[in-house]
Amino acid sequence: MNLEQIGLLRCPRCRGALEGAGAPLEGVSCSCCGKEYRIERRALRLAGSAGDYTESFGRQWNRYDVARPAEDAAVFRVKTGVSALALAGQRVLDAGCGGGRYARLAAESGAHVIGIDLSRAVDKAAELCAPYPQALIVQADLLNLPVAQGAFDLVYSIGVLHHTPAPRVAFAQIARCVKPGGRLSVWLYRKNTPPQEWINSALRHLAGRLPPRVLENLCAGLAVLGGVPVLNKTLNKIVNFSNHPDWTLRVCDNFDWYAPPFQSHHTVDELKSWFHEEGFADIEELAPEKSGSVYDWAHHHNLIIGGGVNVTGARR
Ligand SMILES: C[S@@+](CC[C@H](N)C(=O)[O-])C[C@H]1O[C@@H](n2cnc3c(N)ncnc32)[C@H](O)[C@@H]1O
């Protein structure tokens, strides 16, 4: 944990600057209101409480080991529009870092990365990033983002804002952290056709009433379906389940879909308009990682459940 990065953080209560205390660092305190914040299991805790709406994420990211370095590097390039290798020495904010697979990648490439997440997924992220002293993992709320304005060369948020109760507010919060000339890349769930949306809302409503252990077993059942050829490319256009080749990722993806209380779906025009409204230029839609004539057709007709809208832009 380094003090330079602590200098980019702000007190979530009064926006005062934070100062490190103790050697080795045991916590930080606000130079303005005096509030103290602890460092626990290598993550700085500025927010988060047991039982909040991100509980399921704490469970899934600590339970499933999903870091796959080669795949993570490819996904990162597609979803941010930037190769991690180009980030050496840059200030990077991972807004909603989950278990830290992309923060780890950025740090490994030499970026000075701050990974923020509201859930106890930060425990896993801090463990994954432990070998990289230039990575700082912080448990904090994107809806009250405790970081300095205009401080980052790159801010990215992969699959996060649609899980907050106020995605547009969270977008504005992360957008203001980008420095002039810096880049913001955001990936959100895509709005599907109305019948798909209705079926999904009904299924998620039912899933949300199940105890997590029961839901996990159902997600494992869906992961079995995800390995069945033909079915795993057709049936999942009606009922969503992952067809990732890796079993652990399939179960985790399924839980990630059905467990969280908030899940909103968006259009490309909507996300682009947010970039415009926050003063970004060079706004560009990023293409998905998969391609092929059938896939492209299904993507453009909004038929892929769990597909994304992915936009990047540069701050004026
Ligand atoms: C689907 S996960 C994505 C994690 C990571 N970006 C990845 O792709 O591996 C969404 C994450 O958003 C976090 N999240 C949801 N609401 C948040 C908020 N208000 N502030 C910070 N993180 C939040 C959750 O805790 C969760 O870890």
Strands 178-189 and 152-158: parallel
Q: What is the tens place of the pLDDT at every residue in 21-66? A: 777 788 999 999 999 999 999 999 999 888 899 999 999 999 999 9
- Regarding the beta carbon of 183 and ligand 1, being less than 6 Å apart is answered no
CATH of region 42-190+265-287+308-315: 3.40.50.150
Domain locations in the chain as residue ranges: 42-190+265-287+308-315, 209-258
**Mean pLDDT across the chain:** 96
- Regarding the beta carbon of 57 and ligand 1, being less than 6 Å apart is answered yes
* Other Cβ atoms within 10 Å of 126 Cβ, number: 26
Pocket test for ligand 1, best of 92, 161, 163 (most atoms within 8 A of CB): 163
For the chain, where are the E strands, in sequence order? 18-21, 27-30, 36-40, 43-45, 91-95, 112-117, 135-139, 152-158, 178-189, 280-285, 308-315
Ligand 1 atom 1: the closest Cα is on which residue? 159
First to last CA, the chain: 31
Q: What is the tens place of the pLDDT at every residue in 256-310? A: 999 999 999 999 999 999 999 999 999 999 999 999 999 999 999 999 999 999 9
- Regarding the beta carbon of 185 and ligand 1, being less than 6 Å apart is answered no
SS3 assignment, position 225: helix
Interval between CA 293 and ligand 1 midpoint (Å) = 32
Instruction: Supply the DSSP symbol for 150.
Output: T
pTM of the model: 0.97
Percent of the chain residues past pLDDT 70, beyond the cut: 99
